[in-house]
Copies of this chain bind each other. A is one copy, B any other.
């Protein structure tokens, strides 16, 4: 690999609700022997998703970076030298966030707190206090957003404008096919790579309705085409090569520089 090529990856998995040690061990086994410059794990990969209420979310939330989950992420990143972006429930005093821990080579880089909460998450978590973050490691610039942030084009756009080569996108997707299709457009319109690491399987924690996660974790390239796809169900490690020469070239085939030719004077209503 040259300096300008990086390996990017995502792990599709199905955590058992509430079994943090078991879920951590499962990921550790799944990535054993893998190498990557960036690894993305699903949203709330360590706890499961369907919290019954805020108290339950509180009971499974952890501080950053001292919590058990981030400590394990730090260890894995130190072993591999790579960056890891992984969803977890973050506790900060009385506040609770649906967050993504961002670590690299044994160092904590930040915790992104989901800005656009989905459905009942609004009962369990506080809305993220931003901004959308971009972190650099080994020359690779990684922007992070979580799951439902995808439906807001502003999210990926802000990350790309701030220099992201790749958007790390921990997810627990339940709307069939919507996001997987849309991420091709997010990649294309921003000329970046995207790594959507999704869950599979069904989680049913009454009185919440059963949720089936849609799998189909996907890496997309700056031309809007899939580079790697996971199946609908089953644990899967998806990976692809990222070339920064591509993600930093914002030209369409027409010769238009998509970023330089933006006209923000007409976007004021955003």
Contact = CB atoms under 8 A, between A and B. Distances in A.
A270 B178 contact: no
B181 A266 contact: no
A189 to B, nearest CB: 6
A256 interface: yes
A213 interface: no
B265 A267 contact: no
A188 interface: yes
Interface in A139-179: 148, 151-154, 157-158, 161-162, 175, 178
Contacts of A184: 181
A24 interface: no
Contact of A115 (B116, B157, B181, B263): B263
Contacts of A252: 151, 175
B115 A266 contact: yes
Contact of A224 (B130, B178, B253): B178
Interface string A95-129: 00000000000000000000111110000000100
B269 A270 contact: no
Contacts of A157: 153-154, 270
Q: Which of A130, A182, A255, A266 has the most CB of B within 10 A?
A: A266
A92 interface: no
Contacts of A181: 181, 184-185, 224
A216 to B, nearest CB: 16
A31 interface: no
Contacts of A207: none
Given A116-B261, A118-B256, 7 more contacts: A115-B266, A127-B263, A151-B252, A153-B157, A154-B262, A181-B185, A182-B188
Interface of A: 115-119, 127, 130-132, 148, 151-154, 157-158, 161-162, 175, 178, 181-182, 184-185, 188-189, 224, 252-256, 258, 261-267, 269-270
Kindly list the 8 A-B residue pairs having the minimum CB-CB distance in the complex, ordered from nearest: A119-B254, A153-B153, A130-B266, A154-B267, A185-B185, A182-B185, A158-B269, A270-B270
